[in-house]
Structure 1
Amino acid sequence: MAAFIELRDVAKSFGPLKVVEGLNLDVAKGEFLSLLGPSGSGKTTILMMLAGFEDATSGEIVLDGQRLNDLPPHRRGMGVVFQNYALFPHMSVAENVAFPLQMRGVAKAEVQRRVTEALARVHLEHLAERRPSQLSGGQQQRVALTRALVFEPKVILMDEPLGALDKQLREAMQLEIRDLHRRLGLTIVFVTHDQSEALTISDRIAIFDKGKIAQIGTASEVYDRPRNRFVSQFIGETNLLEGRIDGAADGQTVQIVVEGGRRIVAAAPTVPTGADIVVSVRPERICLTPAPGFDNILDAEVEDVVYQGDHLRFHLACGSLRLVARAERSAESWPVGTRLPIAFRAEDCSVFSA
């Protein structure tokens, strides 16, 4: 698929501090791309460079074949939604939504028509005359999103727009934004530090670490096949086992000696034999009632059981190894001190260099 947004060797420094380094990134038209990473990883700076609120120190930013570096924000055709909504408190909902159209010289009758249609699309037409202070957080978020959409921009940029909402409303708004994206065919670049949010709404996720992309891919690619230790720990929960490759078990798998001298079998990585490696195994991939056919079976003792509502987390000791397994609530009959076999498959192990 052809790139709609292109960032080529983009870097940003604030004095001696390098915030973004050598960034190359393509976004397809109609794609929902999330920039995910911890605070200070450069993701918001990237969004601000796309919007034109920050200048790139070097590199090139292109939208639909047009170089953006020298264009001011209002000529880039991008709508921006901020975490604090940035609504004008002295204006009504309708006036807030009308503002970007008025700034672009749209005729008064056309402004009224488009504002009415835009508010109806997000079910806020009955609140058109209210001020932002009279709205809930979720309603303010929808007004901010509508204001960004009303002038039909080429791209929507969102900087942690759901960060101020409570959990239930946040999850509802995630689905609402995803639905708008699909119905309107929007191109969205979405900044978040919330892993579950990125997994829920994105076509692809770019995971950032210290100004660089640690991994980019679909939700299943970055979760099930992390490329390095940072990604495996940052997105979701995982068990990390340090060890070394001790030879190939067959053409598809390798033998690995991990802490405590135990041997496990994992899918063959691109790491050479004898190299120090890290094996990542997700808690939900560890089976507490193994049937025949598992590549790895270990004896374990239950050290703790944590109730989490829809599931249980088992803290397990396998000699000197400490693992966490996730299981359905029906497993609650295994109390602390129970000894049991646990198992996981070679294909459920991600292996990367230490």
Structure 2
Amino acid sequence: MADFHIRLDGVTKTYGSLRVVDNLRLDIIRGEFLSLLGPSGSGKTTILMMLAGFQDASEGTIYVDGNMINDIPSHKRNMGVVFQSYALFPHMSVAQNVAFPLKMRGFGRSDIRERVERALDMVQLSTMKDRKPSQLSGGQQQRVALARALVFEPGVVLMDEPLGALDKQLREQMQLDIRELHARLGLTIVFVTHDQSEALTMSDRIAVFNKGRIEQIDTPRMIYDHPATRFVAEFIGETNLMEGEIAGREGDEAMVRLSDGCMMRVRARDGLERGAKVLVTIRPEKVELSDPPAAANSFPVTVSDTIYQGDHFRVQLQGAGQRFIARRDRRAAEWPQGARLHATFAADDCWVIAP
């Protein structure tokens, strides 16, 4: 049986008639890295603020280790919090910033010194303990904020888009650093982000939010390869979506008749009856371009544009009554605009969802 560290049972947050979080039921497993992913306004930061105790739930109950914490003030919840803005005190040194939550909790002087040194070692900033935040880079400031959240050894760390202000290269390095720290310390981390790549890189599980509700919660691989809804398919990465209906079934494969009358083969799923309306999703990296066709599914297409994106080409195609997107390795030949080809893909590379 899973060891649930945190449970949100029927949690709702309203502002007047606006329901920001709508009857949320969520179990967070001890020691997991869970990302709350969704667009702005989907309720993910509000959930984090309710967990931290900075906002009250309008309805429902929050449990930690089986104990209700709704009425427990934030400083007694044993949760470290890291914000995007760092929220460091500019007049304090790095060491003083990290020591602050220990002083607020009444730790002794020698204990504070040992814990601060240990926390700064953890984020590789021991040599900068006497500097002020203004003397640090953005990435170093974020490390200080992380050390401050970890210094009192909380059971849970809450992170609200902590890497959003960093440049791409530094953000990617910090993602790996936080992932490594999580694995080493065995923390329960709840991480809020709107960046799909970030969530896929760092998480054990991802909860995809839309309008205050969870659309899907699963591992990164399942979220990407097997989206449960159209919203998830379109929000996580890039995809090709085709409307159709189930026309029949042959063993492990189902036949889908597209809106323009073309037929294609997909992996069969239980519960899809003949005539059921469906959406078929195919990720761009699964689409091959060939001439002549070389797979179970093949559609004549015309290249409308080819965009160089460093490690790959993004090829925009027109065919089968709709637009396709394909990814090609940068070492592949670049197709000219107007080239006539076939977009091909296997039945196993398609995933069927309700429209």
Gaps of 5+ in 2: none
Q: How many residues align?
A: 353
Structure 2 Cα separation of the partners of residues 7 and 160 of structure 1: 21
Q: Please list, as runs of the form range in 1=range in 2, the aligned pairs for 1:177-256 lying within 5 A after superposition.
A: 177-248=178-249, 250-256=250-256
5 Å-filtered alignment, 1:295-314, equals: 295-314=296-315
**Local SS of the residue matching 1:142:** helix
In the TM superposition, residue 321 of structure 1 has moved relative to its aligned partner by 2.3
Cα distance in 1 for residues equivalent to 2:18 and 2:335: 52
Structure 1 alignment gaps of length 5 or more: none
Q: Deviations over 1:126-164 (max 9, x none)?
A: 111111111110011000000000000010000000010
In the TM superposition, what is the alpha-carbon distance from 1:125 to its structure 2 partner?
A: 1.1
Q: Say which SS state the counterpart of residue 289 (structure 2) adopts.
A: coil
Is the Cα–Cα contact under 8 Å of residues 259 and 321 in structure 1 kept in the other structure?
A: no
**Local SS of the residue matching 1:34:** strand
| 1:129-144 aligned within 5 A | 129-144=130-145
Which 4+ stretches in 1 moved above 3 angstroms? Answer: 289-293
Deviation at 1:198? 0.3
Q: Which secondary structure does the structure 1 equivalent of 2:130 belong to?
A: coil
Is the 2:82–2:160 Cα contact (8 Å) retained in structure 1? yes
Q: Which residue matches 1:266?
A: 266
Matches within 5 A, 1:116-127: 116-127=117-128
CA deviation string 1:169-207 (max 9, x = no partner): 101100110010011111100000000000000000000
% identical equivalent positions: 58
Q: Partner letter of residue 268 of structure 2?
A: A
Change (3 A) 1:333 1:86: closer
Q: Residue 61 in 1 paired to residue 66 in 2?
A: no
1:108 to 2:109 alignment: yes
Does the CA-based 8 Å contact 1:36-1:191 persist in structure 2? yes
Whether the 8 Å contact between 1:11 and 1:19 is mirrored in structure 2 is yes
TM-score normalised according to structure 1 size:
0.97
Corresponding residue for 1:281? 282
Residue number in structure 2 paired with 1:148? 149
Q: Secondary structure at the match of 2:131?
A: coil
Q: Give me the whole-angstrom Cα distance separating, in 2, the residues matched to 1:103 and 1:222.
A: 41
Q: Is the 8 A contact 2:262 2:320 kept in 1?
A: no
Q: 3-state SS of the aligned residue for 1:85? A: coil
Of 67-76 and 338-347, more deviation after overlay is shown by 338-347
Secondary structure at the counterpart of residue 169 of structure 1: helix
Give distance in 2, aligned partners of 1:314 and 1:107: 62
Cα deviations across residues 113-134 of structure 1 (Å, max 9, x unaligned)?
1101111121111111111111
Aligned residue for 2:100?
Answer: 99
TM-score, length-scaled by structure 2: 0.96
> SS in structure 2 opposite 1:272?
coil
Q: Cα distance 1:116–1:290, how it changes in 2: closer, same or farther (>3 A)?
A: farther
